[in-house]
Structure 1
Amino acid sequence: MQISANGIAIEVDDQGPPWAEPLLMIMGLGMQLTAWPEGLVQQLLAQGFRVIRFDNRDAGLSQAFDQLGVPNIGLASVQHLLHLPVRSPYSLTDMARDALGVLDALGLQKAHVCGASMGGMIAQHVALLAPERLKSLSLIMTNSGARSVPGPSMRVRSALLRRPPNPKDFAAVMERTYQLFRLIGSPAYPAPEAELRERIKAYLRRSNRPHGLLRQLAAIAADTHRAGQLGRIKAPTLIIHGESDPLIPVPAAHDLARRIPGAQLDLISGMGHDLPEQLWPSFVGGITRVAELAG
C-alpha cells in the first residue's frame, strides 16, 4: 500500500495484528522491501512481531527523485577517499525521516527497528533523531560511517558501480546483478543459481531504478558525521555481521560495537553480504532477544 510519509509517497507492506510488537525493517542500497525475504518475515511474525517493510525513497515502488539529477559517483568516491566533503541530492538523515514518517502514518509512537546495510545506517540516524521512538535496534551487515574503517576491495567496488552498456537490456541487467550478488554473497551459504536468478528476475520486474541507487550511494558517501554521535544511542542494540562480508568487511562490526554503548555483537562465520535462508533462525533469535531487553 502507498502512504504519505515525510511528505513523500512510500510503499509499505504491513503484516501482523495491530496489537503485536511493531518491527520496522529498513533495507539497503537500491534494494526493495522484498529483499527482506517473505520466509524471514513469517518467522518474525511467529515470534509475535508486527512486521513493517517499506521501499526507501528512490527504490521499489516509492517516490522517485529523478528531478534531482544523477550524481557523479566517480567524483564522490574520490572525495570520500580523500576525506573531502561530498554533495548528495538528499541525505541519510532525510531517509531516516522517511522511516519515522512511516511510523507516523501507521499511528505508531514506538517500534523496534532493524536495518540491513544502508538500512542499518538509516536506522542509526533514526535512533539519533528520535530516541524516544525506538524500542530496540538491530543492525545487520552495516557500519558507523567512520572513514578509518576498511571498505570493500577494488574488485567489489568496481562490481558495485559497473553498469551494462544498455541499461534497457533486461538480460544484461539481470546478469550484472547476478554476478554482483554472487560476489558479495555468503561463501558458506550460496543460494542455488536457479533460485537466485528467479529472485533477481522478480526484483527487476517489480522495479529497476539505477539512478536512484546512485543518489542513495551519494548519500552514503556524504554521511561523514554519524560515527561520532553513536555514543548517544541508549536503546538495546544488536549488531549482526558476517565474518566473510566482502562489501562491508568485519572490522566495521567491531567499530560499531565499540561506539554504541552496551551493543551486543553477533559475528557469523561464513556469512557474506546477504540474508541466507539457513541463517534466518539466527537473525530472528537475535532480533527477538534484543527486543525482549526493551521490556
Structure 2
Amino acid sequence: MSAVLPTAGQATVRVNGIEICYEVLGDPGAPAILLIMGLGMQLIAWPDAFCASLVEQGFQVIRFDNRDVGLSTHIAWAQPPRLLPAIARGVLGLSVRSPYRLRDMAEDARGLLDALQIERAHLVGVSMGGMIAQCMAVHHPHRLLSLTSIMSATGNWRVVFGKPAALRELLRQPAAPDDPASQLDRLLRVFAVIGSPGFSTDQVELRRQLARAMARAHDPRGQYRQLLAIVAAGDRRRELARIRAPTLVIHGADDPLLPAAAGRDTAKSIAGARLQIIKGMGHDLPPGVQTLLLEAIIQHCRAATTPGLRSAKGG
C-alpha cells in the first residue's frame, strides 16, 4: 500500500469524565469509520497507509487512544493487578474486580462520536477493540452503520485460550522493567509469538513502529488494567444476540493468542454476521493482512449503507 496519510493533527477532548486523544482524517462529510485498537495499543498502531487507503475510498477515519494507553487518561487504581487470580475467577464465572469495564470503554467511544457530532459510524475494532465495538453495538445500536469485529471474542472462556506460549509472552515482564531497551525487546518477542505465519513482517519497520509508540507513551500497568476490564466483562454472548447492525467477523486461521474458534463463536453469537477466516493470519497487522482487511472492510461498509448492494450480497 502506497497511499499517503493526509495531514492531520491529534487533539484531546473530554468525554465520559476522562480525556481522549483522537485524530480525524478525511472529508468531514464522508461516512465515518471509527477505528478501535486492541489491548495496550495506541491509535498509531492503526497503520498510516491503512488509514489513508480508507480515506481514499471515500471515508472519514477516526482513530483514538483508548483509556489507559497513549495520550488519553491513564486511570489511577491503587490495587496492583493480580491477573492470574482474576483470570481464574473469570473462568469459574465469579466476579472480578477491575477499575472499569468494557462497557465504560464503549461509552468513551460513544462520547467521542458525540463530541465530533457524528450521529452514526461504521465501527471497526481489533481484538479488545472488537469487544468494545461489540459493546457499543449492544448498548447504542442507533449509533452504528455497521460493525466489523477483527481477531476478537465474546468472553466465552471455552474458546479463548490460544497457545500457552502466546499468553505467557503477553504476561511476561521485561528482563529489566525500567530499561527502555529491555521493554522494546519484550514487545518484539510478543509480536514474534503472536504474529502471522503466512505473511511477511519487516522486522526493522516493526522495531521502528514499536519504538515510536514507546516514545509517545508507555504504561504497562495500563495494559494490565485493560486486561482486567476484559476478564471482568465475562461471557457476553447473550448480549451479542441483541446486535442487529450489519456485522462482519474476521479472524486469522493461525491466530496463536485468540484461536479461530473465538471468531467462529463471535459470528455465531450475532444474528446475520458474516465470517471471514484468513489463512496464515495471526494476531497482528502485517502489510499483506492489511490489504485483505481493507478489501473486506470497504466492501462491508459500502454494502451496509447501500440497501440494494447489501441484499444482493446476502447481508
Smaller-chain TM-score range?
A: over 0.9
Percent identity over the alignment is 45
Residue 294 (structure 1) shift = 2.3
Residue of structure 2 equivalent to 1:56: 66
Determine the structure 1 residue equivalent to 2:154: 144
Please report the TM-score for the alignment, with normalisation by the length of structure 1.
0.97
Task: Indicate which of 164, 184, 196 corresponds to 1:174.
Answer: 184
Aligned partners of 2:234, 2:89: CA distance in 1, in Å? Answer: 12
- When residues 50 and 290 of structure 1 are mapped into structure 2, their CA distance, relative to the original with a 3 A threshold, is same
Question: Which of 70, 88, 91 in structure 2 is aligned with 1:81?
Answer: 91
197-206 vs 117-126, which moves further: 197-206
Aligned ranges 1:240-259 → 2 under 5 Å: 240-259=250-269
Counterpart of 1:235 in structure 2: which amino acid?
A
Residues 28 and 119 in structure 1, CA contact (< 8 A), matched pair in contact too: yes
The answer for the alignment partner of 1:164 in structure 2 is: 174
1:235 has 2:241 as partner = no
The alignment status of 1:131 with 2:141, answered yes or no, reads yes
> What SS does the corresponding residue of 2:206 show, helix, strand or coil?
helix
CA–CA distance in structure 1, aligned partners of residues 80 and 121 of structure 2: 34
Deviation at 1:165, TM superposition (A): 4.1
Q: Does the aligned pair in 2 maintain the 1:70–1:214 contact within 8 Å?
A: no
Distance across 1 between alignment mates of 2:225 and 2:79: 8
Secondary structure, aligned partner of 1:40: helix
Q: Which letter maps to 2:43?
A: L
Structure 2 runs not aligned, ≥5 long: 1-10, 306-315
- Residues 140-184 of structure 1 show CA distances to partners (whole Å, capped at 9, x for unaligned) of 100111122141222111111101243220110000000001110
Residues in 2 aligned to 1:43 and 1:68: alpha-carbon distance in whole angstroms? 42
**Displacement of 1:68 after TM fit?**
4.7
Amino acid at match of 2:277: L
Task: Describe the SS at the equivalent of 1:83.
Answer: coil
Aligned equivalent of 1:153: 163
Paired residue type of 1:159:
E
Alignment of 1:281-292 (within 5 A): 281-292=291-302
1:46 to partner: Cα distance: 1.1
Instruction: Say whether the 8 Å CA contact 1:24–1:51 is kept in structure 2.
Output: yes
Q: What is the aligned partner in structure 1 of residue 32 from structure 2? A: 22
* 3-state secondary structure, aligned to 1:34: helix
CA distance in 1, matches of 2:245, 2:107: 18
Q: What SS does the aligned partner of 1:61 have?
A: coil
Q: Is the 8 A contact 1:257 1:264 kept in 2?
A: yes
Give deviations 1:178-204, integer Å, cap 9, x for gaps: 000111010111312211111111111
2:22 corresponds in structure 1 to 12
* Alignment match of 1:36 (pick from 31, 46, 50): 46
Alpha-carbon contact 1:66-1:212 (below 8 Å) kept: no
Number of equivalenced pairs: 295
Q: Provide TM-score, normalisation by structure 2.
A: 0.91
Matched, 1:90 2:100: yes
Q: Which moved more, 1:77-86 or 1:205-214?
A: 77-86
Give unmatched runs, 5+ long, in structure 1: none
The structural deviation recorded for 1:71 is 2.0
RMSD: 1.2
Higher relative contact order (CA 8 A, sep 6+): 1
